[in-house]
C-alpha cells in the first residue's frame, strides 16, 4: 500500500490565523495529541523568531513521542551575514531537533522585490543555509515558497532553486502554494514538469485555501507521487487557512488507498479536531467535513426517513471511521420523522397522525420562530416533549428573582442575586454573590433547592454560550434577542439547555432552570415511564409550560 | 469567451443547513440581491413541500427581476399516483415559474431501498414526471440525484436514467454528487463517460462538500464542459454544505476564463455574502475564501512588511475585484511592522526602535493574554494607542454604576441601571430602564453625558456580540471570561470596541465606555494631531488607562 507522511504545522503556520493564540503549554498539549494521532512530523515553530517558540523547543525535549518527529522552521540566512552568524539558523541548531524545514524564495519577483537580493545571490542563500544545517539534522526539508507562482513567472529560476536545495542536501522539496490561488489543473501540470526535471526528487506539498482548493491540490500532489503533505488541524492558518489535515487524512486513508496515520488512529480524528479547537479557543466550524458537528447531521424530512432505514443512503462514509456520529436534527423543516425518531428514543412509539405529534410540531415551530434552537439543546427539547406528553410535575416554582451588578471606582465588579421559590410547599428565599450575575443566580438557586434535592450537588455547569440574534421585523424594526446555551453534567453524562430573551439575565435564568429541572427529572423515580408505554398511552395535551 | 450559468439553491438546499432558517420575507430579500448580483437561476424552494415555500412562489410573482429566472424544485411523482394527480408536480405548475428542477433517483440501490420501486418503474417515473411538466415551463432541468455513486454502482442504469430524462425533454442534465464524497479524478472520468454516451447532452453540476472537494469538483465539471453550476451562497447546506458559489464564481471569472456573472457584478460578491449571512443569522466564517473577513488579513510580521511594499506578494487576487479589502492584524505575533503600519494611519511616523513602540507592544501582549482582541476592535486599539502616546484627556469619569434585573411571577423581566459620573467637574447621577441590562446602562450613560456632549445623539449601537472564553490554567482551574464586542456607528462610519471581564455586565460596560469615548475623541477638535506630527513628537509614556 502506498504511503504518505503527514507534516503538521498547526503550531507554526496555524497560529497565523486571525484570533488564534497558543501558549507554550497549549502547544505542548496539542503536540501530545498529534503524536498520539500518528502524525509523522510536528512543526513546533520558528525558534529564532519569538520567545514562545524558543520556550516550546526547550520544553519539548522533556517529552518522549511515540510517532512524531519534532521539526523546527526557519528561513534562509540573512543576506548580510554568513550562515553561521545568522541567529535564526543558530536557534535551529540550538533547538536540537531531528528535523527542520527551511523556506526559501523561488519566485523571482519576490527575490528582487521583497528579499531585495539578486537572483544568483538567492540561490547561494538557499544552498548555504541548507548546507550549514545539514550535519546537525537527521532530516532536512526545503519549503519552496511561492513555488507555483514562481514557476509560472520564471520556470527555469524556480527549478534552479530546487536544484540548489537538492545539491545542498534537502531530503524533501516541499512545493508551496503560498498565496493559495493555484488551480488544481495548473498545479498538476507544474508538478509533472518538476518531476521531468528532477526525476529523483522526493516532493512534498504545502497549500493554502484562498481559492478553496487546498485539499484538492494536496490530494492531486499525492496522486502524482508527493510523499509528504503539510497542513494544519481544522485548516487553521493565515487568511483562508492552510490545507485541512482533518479532510486530507481520511480521504487518503478511506478513498485513495494511501496509508498515512492508519485506520485505527483515524478514529481519533474528531476528538483531536475538537481538542485543538478547544485549546486554541476557536469555535468549531459545524459544517467541517468528516469531523464537524453537522458533518453527518440530517434535517430534510426525506433524508431523515432514508437515513433511518439505511445510513449509507446519505452518508459518504461511516461516521465512526473518523470518530464522528450521525444526528437527526429537530427543526420546523424536519417534519414528523424527526419528532417520531426522538420520541422512540424516549420510549414513546407514537403514530405519525397522533394529535400530540401535530401539537408538538406546532409548538416547536412557534418556539423556533422565537429563537429557541432545540437541535443544540436536546435536554430542553426533552423537557418540552414530556410536558407536551402530560408530565405536569413541578419541582419548584419561581416567585421572583433579582440580580444586582454594581461597580464603584475603587472596587471589583460585584454581583448579588436573590431568589424566592416555592419548593415542596415551602417558600425558600436565598441570596448569593458570584463571579458575574449568572454565577450569582446559579448559587442562589442551588441554595434554595439543595435542601430539598441534595442530588443537585452532583451536577455542575460546564459551559455557557451567549449568542446575540437580530430577529428582523417582528414589531417593525430589528430587535436583538439573546440566546443562552448552558451545558451541564454529572457523573452519568452531559446535557444542554436553552433560554431566549432580549435580556441576557432572563435568557440565562431560563436555561439554568431547564438544566436543574432536567437533572431532577432524569433522577426522579416517579417520572413518566421513558423506555416503555406499558402503562398505556399518555393522556393527551396537558397544561403547557 | 466561454460562459456558464449559475443556478443558486441557497433558498432551497441552503436552508437544509443546521441552525439556518429563512422566512418568506428573508427569501424575497435574498432573491433580490442574487438577481442584482447577476445570478441566472434562483431556486426558490419546493412549492409542494411546505407553506413557506408555497408563499414564496405566490409573492415572488409581484417582483420583476432583471437577470434571474425563478425556478421551482420537486421530485419525480409519487409512484402510486399518475403525474397529473401528484400534488408536488401540480404545485410546480401552479407556481407559474419559467423553470423547474426535478430530481430523480439514478442510483439503483436508492431506487430499490429508499424509493422502493423496481428499476424500470423508476425510469417511467422520471420520464412521465418531466413529460408532464414540459409544456408548462420554458426550461426544465433534471437533477440526477446520487449520480456519481449511482454510476459507480451501475453505470448502465445511471445512464438509462439520463436518457429517460433527455427523451422527456430535459434541457440540462444536472449530475449530482448528493453525498459529497466523490474524488475529483473519479468525477472527471465519469463525466467523460457520460459525454461519450450522450454527446449532445448539456450537463450541469451539483456537488456537496463532504470531502472538502465541492468547489474543485464543480470547477472540474465546468472545465470538461458543464454549462450550469448549482450551489449556494457561502456554501450553506445540509451536513458539510453545498458547493460554495462565493468561491466558484470568482475562480471561474478571474482564473478560468469562464464568464458567469461578469466582472462588474463580481465586485458585489462580498456584500452579497454578508447580506445572506446576516439575513440567515449565520456567523460569517472569517477564513472563507475571497469574501471572508480574514481572506486578505495579514498577521505574520514578514507577510505584513512584504504586503505593505507590494500587496501582490501575499495576495492571489486584488481584493477589490470581489469587493473585499486587505487588513493588517494587530497581534502579539505581529511584531512591530503592524504597529508601525497602524501608527502611520493615525498620523504618527514612528521609528521601529522608539521606546513607545516597545511599550505599546508589551501592553498589547499583556491585554491579549487577558482576552482582549484588538484585531476585531480597532476603535479600542486606537484609544489605547493614543493613551500610550500621551493623550490624557478624560471626557468623563466613572464614580459608580449599578444594574438591577428583576423578575416576578407575573411580570416581564425588568432592568434598571443607575450611573454616577464626573462630567466636566459636575456629578451626573442618572437612572434608566431598558430592554435588558446593557440597554439600561447605555440609556443611563447617555442621559448623564448628552447634556455636556450633544453629539452623542448622532451615534447608535449597531451590534452587540458576546463570546464566552474559557481561559485555561490561570490560577489553577479554568475560569470563564466574557468578551463583549460592540459595534457603533454615526453618519461618518462604524467602529468596534471590546471589553473583557468574568462579568458580562462589566465587559459590556467597558466596551460601551470605549465606544462613547471613541465618538467623543474623533469629534474632538482639540485631540492630538492625527494626520501629521507637525507639533513635534508626542511626549513619551503617559499615565496609562
- How would DSSP label each residue in B61-101? TT---SSPEEEEEEESPPTTS-GGG-HHHHHHHHHT-SEEE
Which residues does A427 contact at the CB level (< 8 Å), separation at least 6? A399, A420, A421
Look at residue A433 and tell me if it is in a domain.
no
CA–CA distance, A326 with B509 (Å, rounded to integer): 42
Look at residue B396 and tell me if it is in a domain.
no
Cβ-Cβ contacts under 8 Å, B309 against chain A: 113-114
Q: Please name the residues between 429 and 468 in chain A that touch chain B, using a CB distance below 8 Å.
A: 435-438, 463-468
Least confident piece of the model among A32-41, A290-299, B96-105: A290-299
In angstroms, the separation between the Cα of residue B285 and the nearest Cα of chain A is 8
Asked if B267 and B322 sit in the same domain, the reply is no
Mean pLDDT (whole number) for A124-137:
98
Tell me chain A's radius of gyration from C-alpha atoms. Answer: 29
Which residues does B256 contact at the CB level (< 8 Å), separation at least 6? A183, B219, B222, B223
Q: Supply the pLDDT for residue B231.
A: 98
Cell of B506: 462589566
Task: Look at chain A and report how many structural domains it folds into.
Answer: 2
Q: CB of A92 within 8 A of CB of A57?
A: no
pLDDT in tens, A46-96: 998 877 788 999 999 999 999 999 999 999 999 999 999 999 999 999 999
At residue A446 the predicted structure's pLDDT band, cuts being 50, 70 and 90, is very high
Asked if B348 and B211 sit in the same domain, the reply is no
Task: Look at residues B339, B355, B370 and tell me which one is the last residue of a structural domain.
Answer: B370
Q: Supply the pLDDT for residue A40.
A: 98
The boundaries of the domain holding residue A343 are 297-370
* Residue that the C-alpha cell 449597531 belongs to: B462
Helix (H, G, I), strand (E, B) or coil at A102: strand
- DSSP H or E stretch at residue A444: helix A437-449
Q: Which residue has the higher pLDDT, A402 or B308?
A: A402
Interface residue A94 vs chain B (CB under 8 A)? no
The percent of chain B in helix, strand and coil, each rounded to the nearest 5, is: 40, 20, 35
Q: Supply the pLDDT for residue A411.
A: 74
At residue A474 the predicted structure's pLDDT band, cuts being 50, 70 and 90, is very low
Least confident piece of the model among A498-502, A536-540, B355-359, B372-376: A536-540
Mean pLDDT for all residues in chain B: 88
Interface residue B281 vs chain A (CB under 8 A)? yes
Q: Supply the pLDDT for residue B471.
A: 53
Cβ-Cβ contacts under 8 Å, A176 against chain B: none
Cβ-Cβ contacts under 8 Å, B185 against chain A: 223
Interface residue B473 vs chain A (CB under 8 A)? yes
CA B87 to each of CA B9, B46, B47, B100, B110: distance values in angstroms, whole numbers, following the listed order: 22, 11, 10, 15, 22
pTM of the model: 0.74
Q: Between chains, do B184 and A220 touch, taking CB under 8 Å as contact?
A: yes
Beta carbons within 10 angstroms of residue B29's beta carbon: 16
* Residue that the C-alpha cell 529523483 belongs to: A200
Mean pLDDT (whole number) for B241-261:
98
In angstroms, the separation between the Cα of residue B198 and the nearest Cα of chain A is 25
Least confident piece of the model among A112-121, A354-363, A469-478: A469-478
Asked if A354 and A257 sit in the same domain, the reply is no
Q: CB of B355 within 8 A of CB of B331?
A: no
The yes-or-no verdict on residue A436 having pLDDT over 90 is no
Q: CB of A493 within 8 A of CB of A487?
A: no
Cβ-Cβ contacts under 8 Å, A376 against chain B: 19
CA A302 to each of CA A307, A309, A333, A389, A535: distance values in angstroms, whole numbers, following the listed order: 9, 11, 11, 26, 33
β A479-490/A460-471 pair status? antiparallel
Cβ-Cβ contacts under 8 Å, A503 against chain B: 405, 413, 415, 435-437
Question: Percentage of residues in chain B with pLDDT exceeding 90?
Answer: 62
Distance of CA A228 to the CA centre of its chain: 24
CA–CA distance, B428 with B396 (Å, rounded to integer): 10
Task: Look at residues A253, A279, A305 and tell me which one is the last residue of a structural domain.
Answer: A279
Cell of A303: 433524508
CA–CA distance, B52 with A333 (Å, rounded to integer): 10
Task: Look at residues B320, B339, B370 and tell me which one is the last residue of a structural domain.
Answer: B370
Asked if B110 and B210 sit in the same domain, the reply is yes
Q: Please name the residues between 122 and 151 in chain B that touch chain A, using a CB distance below 8 Å.
A: none
- Of B295, B310, B406, nearest to A239 by CB-CB distance is B295
β A397-408/B397-408 pair status? antiparallel
Distance of CA A356 to the CA centre of its chain: 38
pLDDT in tens, B436-450: 898 899 999 999 999
Cell of B468: 464566552
At residue B73 the predicted structure's pLDDT band, cuts being 50, 70 and 90, is very high
Q: Supply the pLDDT for residue A470.
A: 59
Nearest-5° Cα angle at B168, B114 to B154: 40
- How would DSSP label each residue in B94-156? HHT-SEEEEEEE--HHHIIIII-S-HHHHHHHHHHHHHHHGGG-SEEEEEEETHHHHHHH-HH
Interface residue B308 vs chain A (CB under 8 A)? no
Which span out of A299-303, A402-406, B527-531 was modeled with the highest average pLDDT?
A: A402-406
Look at residue A513 and tell me if it is in a domain.
no
What are the helix (H) ranges across A1-50? Answer: 24-37
Which of the 8 DSSP states describes residue A501?
E
Look at residue A386 and tell me if it is in a domain.
no
Look at residue B440 and tell me if it is in a domain.
no
Mean pLDDT (whole number) for A462-490:
69
pLDDT in tens, B448-460: 999 999 999 999 8
Q: Which residue has the higher pLDDT, A482 or A229?
A: A229
The percent of chain A in helix, strand and coil, each rounded to the nearest 5, is: 40, 20, 35
Least confident piece of the model among A193-207, A458-472, A512-526: A458-472
Mean pLDDT (whole number) for A281-285:
79
- DSSP H or E stretch at residue A421: strand A414-423
Asked if A68 and A104 sit in the same domain, the reply is yes
Look at residue B144 and tell me if it is in a domain.
yes
Q: Between chains, do B215 and A220 touch, taking CB under 8 Å as contact?
A: no
Beta carbons within 10 angstroms of residue B412's beta carbon: 11
Q: Which residue has the higher pLDDT, A360 or A308?
A: A360
* Residue that the C-alpha cell 526545503 belongs to: A142
Asked if A29 and A62 sit in the same domain, the reply is yes
The angle, 0 to 180 degrees and rounded to 10, between the axes of the packed helices A51-60 and A24-37 is 50
Asked if B75 and B183 sit in the same domain, the reply is yes
CATH number at residue B263: 3.20.20.70
Asked if A320 and A274 sit in the same domain, the reply is no
pLDDT in tens, B390-416: 888 889 999 999 999 988 777 778 899
A179: left (phi over 0), alpha (psi -120 to 50) or beta: alpha
pLDDT in tens, B22-38: 888 889 989 999 999 99
The yes-or-no verdict on residue A464 having pLDDT over 70 is yes
Q: Which residue has the higher pLDDT, B160 or B478?
A: B160
Mean pLDDT (whole number) for A187-211:
98
Q: Between chains, do B18 and A212 touch, taking CB under 8 Å as contact?
A: no
Cell of A139: 532530516
Nearest-5° Cα angle at B378, B376 to B381: 120
Q: Supply the pLDDT for residue B527.
A: 66
CA–CA distance, A512 with B152 (Å, rounded to integer): 51
Q: What is the largest CA-CA distance in chain A?
A: 89
What are the helix (H) ranges across B231-268? Answer: 245-255, 263-266
Beta carbons within 10 angstroms of residue A249's beta carbon: 26
ipTM above 0.85, yes or no: no
Q: Which residue has the higher pLDDT, B282 or A203?
A: A203
Interface residue B494 vs chain A (CB under 8 A)? no
Q: CB of A95 within 8 A of CB of A57?
A: yes
Q: Supply the pLDDT for residue B335.
A: 63
* Residue that the C-alpha cell 447605555 belongs to: B442
CA–CA distance, B474 with B179 (Å, rounded to integer): 44
- DSSP H or E stretch at residue A418: strand A414-423
Q: Between chains, do A409 and B398 touch, taking CB under 8 Å as contact?
A: yes
Q: Between chains, do A18 and B375 touch, taking CB under 8 Å as contact?
A: yes
At residue B330 the predicted structure's pLDDT band, cuts being 50, 70 and 90, is low
Torsion of CA B524, B527, B532, B533, to 10 degrees: 170
Torsion of CA B207, B209, B212, B217, to 10 degrees: 0
Helix (H, G, I), strand (E, B) or coil at B50: coil
Least confident piece of the model among B81-90, B240-249, B520-529: B520-529
Asked if B81 and B230 sit in the same domain, the reply is yes
The angle, 0 to 180 degrees and rounded to 10, between the axes of the packed helices B378-388 and B355-370 is 140
For B469-504, what is the HEC assignment? EEECCCCCCCEEEEEEEEEEEECCEEEEEEEEECCH
By residue count, chain B amounts to 545
Which residues does A468 contact at the CB level (< 8 Å), separation at least 6? A480, A481, A482, A483, B463, B464, B465, B466
Closest CA to A251 of A284, A220, A285, A292: A220
Helix (H, G, I), strand (E, B) or coil at B219: helix
Cell of B394: 478624560
Q: Supply the pLDDT for residue A353.
A: 83
Mean pLDDT (whole number) for A131-141:
98
Interface residue A399 vs chain B (CB under 8 A)? yes
Helix (H, G, I), strand (E, B) or coil at A208: strand
CA–CA distance, B330 with B1 (Å, rounded to integer): 43
Q: What is the largest CA-CA distance in chain B?
A: 89
The angle, 0 to 180 degrees and rounded to 10, between the axes of the packed helices B336-345 and B355-370 is 110
In angstroms, the separation between the Cα of residue B534 and the nearest Cα of chain A is 32
Look at residue B332 and tell me if it is in a domain.
yes
Mean pLDDT (whole number) for A109-133:
95
Q: CB of A180 within 8 A of CB of A207?
A: yes
CA–CA distance, B505 with B432 (Å, rounded to integer): 15
Q: Supply the pLDDT for residue B305.
A: 74
Beta bridge partners of A73: A101
The yes-or-no verdict on residue B361 having pLDDT over 70 is yes
Asked if A164 and A192 sit in the same domain, the reply is yes
CA–CA distance, A17 with B329 (Å, rounded to integer): 10
Cell of B4: 456558464
Q: Between chains, do A401 and B397 touch, taking CB under 8 Å as contact?
A: no
Q: Supply the pLDDT for residue B365.
A: 77
Asked if B211 and B309 sit in the same domain, the reply is no
pLDDT in tens, A423-434: 999 999 999 998
At residue B532 the predicted structure's pLDDT band, cuts being 50, 70 and 90, is very low
Helix (H, G, I), strand (E, B) or coil at A114: helix
Cβ-Cβ contacts under 8 Å, B105 against chain A: none
Look at residue B285 and tell me if it is in a domain.
no
- Of A244, A437, A467, nearest to B503 by CB-CB distance is A437
Nearest-5° Cα angle at A513, A512 to A518: 100
Helix (H, G, I), strand (E, B) or coil at A375: helix
Q: Between chains, do A399 and B376 touch, taking CB under 8 Å as contact?
A: no
pLDDT in tens, A169-178: 999 999 999 9
Cell of A40: 509523522
Q: Which residue has the higher pLDDT, A344 or B160?
A: B160
Which of the 8 DSSP states describes residue A46?
-
Q: Between chains, do B212 and A247 touch, taking CB under 8 Å as contact?
A: yes
Asked if B87 and B58 sit in the same domain, the reply is yes
Amino acid at each position: 500500500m502506498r504511503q504518505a507522511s503527514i507534516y503538521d504545522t498547526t503550531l507554526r503556520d496555524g497560529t497565523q490565523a486571525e484570533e488564534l493564540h497558543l501558549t507554550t503549554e497549549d502547544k505542548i498539549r496539542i503536540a501530545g495529541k498529534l503524536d498520539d494521532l500518528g502524525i509523522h512530523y510536528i512543526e513546533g515553530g520558528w525558534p529564532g523568531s519569538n520567545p514562545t517558540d524558543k520556550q516550546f523547543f526547550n520544553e519539548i525535549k522533556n517529552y518522549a513521542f511515540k510517532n512524531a518527529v519534532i521539526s523546527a522552521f526557519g528561513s534562509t540566512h540573512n543576506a548580510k551575514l554568513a550562515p553561521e552568524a545568522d541567529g535564526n539558523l543558530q536557534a535551529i541548531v540550538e533547538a536540537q531537533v531531528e528535523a527542520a524545514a527551511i523556506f526559501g524564495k523561488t519566485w523571482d519577483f519576490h527575490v528582487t522585490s521583497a528579499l531585495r537580493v539578486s537572483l544568483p545571490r538567492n540561490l547561494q542563500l538557499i544552498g548555504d543555509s541548507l548546507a550549514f544545517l545539514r550535519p546537525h539534522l537527521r532530516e532536512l526539508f526545503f519549503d519552496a515558497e511561492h513555488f507555483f507562482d514562481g514557476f509560472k513567472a520564471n520556470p527555469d529560476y524556480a527549478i534552479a532553486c530546487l536544484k540548489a536545495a537538492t545539491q545542498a542536501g534537502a531530503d524533501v522539496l516541499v512545493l508551496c502554494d503560498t498565496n493559495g490561488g493555484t488551480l488544481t489543473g495548473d498545479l498538476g501540470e507544474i508538478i509533472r514538469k518538476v518531476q521531468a526535471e528532477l526525476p529523483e526528487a522526493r516532493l512534498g506539498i504545502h497549500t493554502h485555501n484562498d481559492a478553496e482548493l487546498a485539499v484538492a491540490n494536496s490530494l492531486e500532489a499525492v496522486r502524482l507521487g508527493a510523499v509528504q503533505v503539510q497542513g494544519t488541524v481544522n485548516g487553521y492558518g493565515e487568511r483562508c487557512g492552510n490545507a485541512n489535515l482533518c479532510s486530507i487524512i481520511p480521504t487518503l486513508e478511506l478513498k485513495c488507498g494511501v496509508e498515512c496515520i492508519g485506520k485505527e488512529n483515524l478514529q481519533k480524528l474528531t476528538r483531536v479536531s475538537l481538542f485543538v479547537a478547544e485549546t486554541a479557543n476557536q469555535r468549531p466550524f459545524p459544517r467541517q467535513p468528516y469531523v464537524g458537528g453537522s458533518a453527518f447531521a440530517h434535517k430534510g424530512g426525506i433524508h431523515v426517513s432514508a437515513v433511518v432505514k439505511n445510513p449509507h443512503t446519505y452518508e459518504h462514509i461511516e461516521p465512526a471511521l473518523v470518530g464522528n456520529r450521525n444526528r437527526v436534527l429537530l427543526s420546523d423543516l424536519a417534519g414528523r420523522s424527526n419528532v417520531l425518531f426522538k420520541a422512540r428514543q424516549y420510549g414513546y412509539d407514537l403514530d405519525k397522525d397522533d394529535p400530540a405529534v401535530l401539537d408538538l410540531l406546532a409548538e416547536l415551530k412557534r418556539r423556533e420562530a422565537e429563537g429557541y434552537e432545540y437541535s443544540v439543546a436536546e435536554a430542553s427539547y426533552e423537557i418540552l416533549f414530556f410536558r407536551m406528553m402530560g408530565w405536569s410535575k413541578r419541582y419548584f416554582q419561581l416567585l421572583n428573582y433579582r440580580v444586582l451588578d454594581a461597580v464603584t471606582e475603587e472596587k471589583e465588579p460585584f454581583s448579588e442575586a436573590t431568589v424566592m421559590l416555592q419548593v415542596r410547599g415551602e417558600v425558600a428565599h436565598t441570596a448569593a454573590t458570584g463571579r458575574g450575575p449568572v454565577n450569582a443566580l446559579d448559587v442562589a438557586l442551588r441554595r434554595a433547592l439543595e435542601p430539598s434535592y441534595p442530588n443537585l450537588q452532583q451536577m455542575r455547569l460546564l459551559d455557557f454560550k451567549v449568542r446575540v440574534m437580530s430577529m428582523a421585523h417582528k414589531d417593525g424594526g430589528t430587535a436583538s434577542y439573546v440566546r443562552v446555551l448552558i451545558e451541564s453534567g454529572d457523573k452519568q453524562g452531559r446535557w444542554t439547555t436553552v433560554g431566549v430573551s432580549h435580556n441576557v439575565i432572563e435568557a440565562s435564568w431560563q436555561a439554568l432552570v431547564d438544566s436543574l429541572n432536567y437533572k431532577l427529572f432524569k433522577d426522579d423515580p416517579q417520572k413518566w415511564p421513558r423506555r416503555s408505554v406499558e402503562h398505556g398511552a399518555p393522556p393527551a395535551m396537558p397544561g403547557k409550560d
